Chain A
Amino acid sequence: MKTHVASWAAVVVAAVAYPLAVIGGGGPRFPSHAECVHPAKTDGNLEAVFGRFDSTVRAEAVLRHALEVGFKGTRIESDGCGLLEVTLHGIPTLLVGQDFIAEARRVGFNPRLEQGTP
């Protein structure tokens, strides 16, 4: 009878120990803003991010305006951190990126040059 109880106790202890150990290590953490945004530092795989939004309606409004003024290829993507980003990929170098930012500012946008995530 003692063995029988000990056997069940071992299973229960294992079943409880794992979640306790996981909780002891801290709960799931959502990435911070700094971890989601990767400012452009080197050439290659760059994108111009027109903004991040928590609603599709707002993101679509910005996208529509960007397309209207001629920024073809701009699209809406998930930023991997729960927000929608209006972004334009395919910027080859930092120099081209800076030119693009200046051009965008002239038509009322304030995009940020970021390193694209692989």
Chain B
Amino acid sequence: MNAHSIAGILAFNLFLLVVGVAVLYGLRGWESWGELLRLSGFAYMLGVAGLGVIFVIELVVGVDLSLATILATGACLFALAAGVGRLLGRRLPWVKAVSGHLSPTAAIFGALAVVYSEALFRSGRLAGLYEFDGWAFWVPKAKAIYFFGGLDRQFFEQLPGPSYPPLVPALEAAAFRFMGSPDVVTLHVQFWFFLIGFLTAVVGLLAPRVPSLLLWPPILLLLAAPHVLGYALQAQGDFLLDELVALAALLVALWLVEQRPWQLAGAAVFIGAAMSTKREGYMLASCVAAAAFLASWHHARILWPRLLLACAAAVALTVPWRVFLVVRDLSRGGAEAGGVGLFAHADRAWPSFRLAVSSVFDYHIWLIVAPLLLLAIAAAASTGAWRLSGYALFLFVLAIVAFTWVTWAFPSLPITKNAALNPIVRLTGSLAFAATALIPLLLGAAWRRGQEMQ
């Protein structure tokens, strides 16, 4: 670690934020500068997702990911998003003052979150690259992009996980460019930025909709979860996948309630990025989409075409990578057992299910995030927030089914929570993160409806 690397990574993340602000402008705009400040985390994550997806497409078509390319890509996306915003008639607010209202409750929780993030930064800035998948293929891929410019054929074919899309290695390589060297120690700080971006995005999106007392505790609960404390800054794709999926799940939930187009458009961007991050992204995206379809069953004629359009847009973002796998004759990353192979391994079904459920509810991994989600669903349902509670419940059930399928469909995976042998614990992170984003919304809906009933 050195000051040069830290300054470089800070500049890279400012760059992501600036591009993301333009994407936010194209998607929804803002009515005041205070609102932009509140949504800056959301904007940052839009920048991460948007630029990440474009970097993947550029690598696929053979563009050298040099510093000039990265800056030009950001400038193009900025101009495109700003142009779309102008076309849609968005205007910047006239008032120059920034009014950021902060209640005493929010201030207390916010102060705790700030101190936590500072402590996490302190642990991340000198973290070594010890995690197996990190040094085995995530970071080597990033180094290959940094040194060779693109997806070196032989190198990428021979590393583990050749079917994994290169969104994370591309972002890591871009971070290396800004740092001026492949500094794998300071690289951990990049994952700190992702986590903080996710947290501020959730807080920014929910702050006007949920009282502080219901918003912050679930977020702090996630931050205190042993798995987050221990592994959140690992230079791998798992946590970024969780963050992208959770933001998509939250935006879909908001869309089901409020039906603002930007919410669905934002969800499509995050889902597209999630599918470009890891193979599991397809499975988790399917869970979010299926839950949304099921929860909007009664208004299918109005809502389903829009949902289908968003799904098609998200899938379209991943087509280049899928074509690339076919052209280079690489593994597509399908299940070991194949389609009907599941029946040949029927004896694994029940143990796989038990493993999935016990991982999600394991206090030593996720504390009480899952039970709290179920309580929040029950609270929202009891006050009549059917669509929101139904969506969250469908998402929970589908995620459990998906986690079960992973262990069941890969017979080489032993039935264990040992992260070196079975990815189940890392997988459940997507549900824990999504739960953290949904719990405040569910509790807020229950609280609001309770107030109305009184």
- Chain A residues near B (Cβ < 8 Å): 3-4, 6-8, 10-11, 13-15, 17-19, 22, 28
Query: Which of A7, A18, A28 makes the CB contact (< 8 A) with B119?
Result: A18
Digitize B133-147: 1 where CB-to-A-CB distance is under 8 Å, 0 elsewhere. 000000000000000
- Looking at B105-113, B149-157, B293-301, B376-384, the stretch in contact with chain A turns out to be B105-113
Residue in B101, B104, B107 whose Cβ sees the most chain A Cβ within 10 Å: B107
> Assuming the A-B contacts A10-B107, A11-B107, A11-B111, are A4 and B102 also in contact, with contact meaning beta carbons closer than 8 angstroms in the complex?
yes
Query: Which of A3, A4, A14 makes the CB contact (< 8 A) with B111?
Result: A14
B100 at the interface (CB under 8 A from A): yes
B101 CB contacts on chain A under 8 angstroms: 4
> Assuming the A-B contacts A7-B103, A8-B100, A22-B122, are A15 and B108 also in contact, with contact meaning beta carbons closer than 8 angstroms in the complex?
no
Q: A7 CA to B106 CA in the complex, in Å?
A: 8
Q: A18 CA to B101 CA in the complex, in Å?
A: 24
- Chain B residues near A (Cβ < 8 Å): 100-104, 106-108, 110-112, 114-115, 118-119, 122, 126
**Please, which residue of chain B has its CB at the minimum distance from the CB of A17?**
B115
Query: Which of A3, A11, A22 makes the CB contact (< 8 A) with B114?
Result: A11
Cβ–Cβ contact B108 & A10, under 8 A = yes
B114 CB contacts on chain A under 8 angstroms: 11, 14-15, 18
Cβ–Cβ contact B115 & A7, under 8 A = no
Cβ–Cβ contact B118 & A11, under 8 A = no
Q: A50 CA to B114 CA in the complex, in Å?
A: 48
> Assuming the A-B contacts A7-B107, A8-B107, A22-B122, are A14 and B115 also in contact, with contact meaning beta carbons closer than 8 angstroms in the complex?
yes
Q: A15 CA to B111 CA in the complex, in Å?
A: 7
Q: A16 CA to B119 CA in the complex, in Å?
A: 12
Cβ–Cβ contact A8 & B115, under 8 A = no
> Assuming the A-B contacts A7-B107, A10-B108, are A15 and B102 also in contact, with contact meaning beta carbons closer than 8 angstroms in the complex?
no
A11 CB contacts on chain B under 8 angstroms: 102, 107, 110-111, 114
Cβ–Cβ contact A18 & B103, under 8 A = no
What's the dominant secondary structure at chain B's contact region?
A: helix
A-B contact pairs, 25 of them (CB 8 A): A3-B104, A4-B102, A6-B104, A7-B102, A7-B103, A7-B104, A7-B107, A8-B100, A8-B102, A10-B104, A10-B107, A10-B111, A11-B111, A13-B111, A14-B114, A14-B115, A15-B111, A15-B114, A15-B115, A15-B118, A17-B115, A18-B115, A18-B118, A22-B122, A28-B126
Q: A8 CA to B34 CA in the complex, in Å?
A: 14
Q: A10 CA to B101 CA in the complex, in Å?
A: 14
**Please, which residue of chain A has its CB at the minimum distance from the CB of B111?**
A14
B155 CB → nearest A CB, Å = 23
Q: A13 CA to B115 CA in the complex, in Å?
A: 10
B126 CB contacts on chain A under 8 angstroms: 28
B36 CB → nearest A CB, Å = 17
What's the dominant secondary structure at chain A's contact region?
A: helix
Q: A3 CA to B101 CA in the complex, in Å?
A: 10
A89 CB → nearest B CB, Å = 20
A15 CB contacts on chain B under 8 angstroms: 111, 114-115, 118
Q: A7 CA to B110 CA in the complex, in Å?
A: 10
A106 CB → nearest B CB, Å = 39
A13 CB contacts on chain B under 8 angstroms: 111
Q: A14 CA to B102 CA in the complex, in Å?
A: 15
**Please, which residue of chain A has its CB at the minimum distance from the CB of B100?**
A8
Q: A28 CA to B108 CA in the complex, in Å?
A: 29
B102 CB contacts on chain A under 8 angstroms: 4, 7-8, 11
> Assuming the A-B contacts A4-B101, A7-B102, are A19 and B107 also in contact, with contact meaning beta carbons closer than 8 angstroms in the complex?
no
B6 CB → nearest A CB, Å = 14
Residue in B103, B106, B111 whose Cβ sees the most chain A Cβ within 10 Å: B111
A4 CB contacts on chain B under 8 angstroms: 101-102
Q: A10 CA to B111 CA in the complex, in Å?
A: 7
Residue in A6, A7, A28 whose Cβ sees the most chain B Cβ within 10 Å: A7
Q: A6 CA to B101 CA in the complex, in Å?
A: 11
**Please, which residue of chain B has its CB at the minimum distance from the CB of A13?**
B111
**Please, which residue of chain A has its CB at the minimum distance from the CB of B119?**
A18
Q: A101 CA to B6 CA in the complex, in Å?
A: 45
**Please, which residue of chain A has its CB at the minimum distance from the CB of B118?**
A18
A16 CB → nearest B CB, Å = 10
A10 CB → nearest B CB, Å = 5
Q: A80 CA to B135 CA in the complex, in Å?
A: 18
A-B contact sample (8 more), CB < 8 A, given A6-B107, A13-B111, A18-B114: A3-B104, A4-B101, A6-B104, A7-B103, A7-B107, A14-B111, A14-B115, A15-B115
B111 CB contacts on chain A under 8 angstroms: 10-11, 13-15
A60 CB → nearest B CB, Å = 22
Q: A17 CA to B115 CA in the complex, in Å?
A: 9
Q: A6 CA to B110 CA in the complex, in Å?
A: 13
B129 CB → nearest A CB, Å = 13
A28 CB contacts on chain B under 8 angstroms: 126
Q: A83 CA to B181 CA in the complex, in Å?
A: 21
Q: A109 CA to B122 CA in the complex, in Å?
A: 42
B117 CB → nearest A CB, Å = 9
**Please, which residue of chain A has its CB at the minimum distance from the CB of B116?**
A18
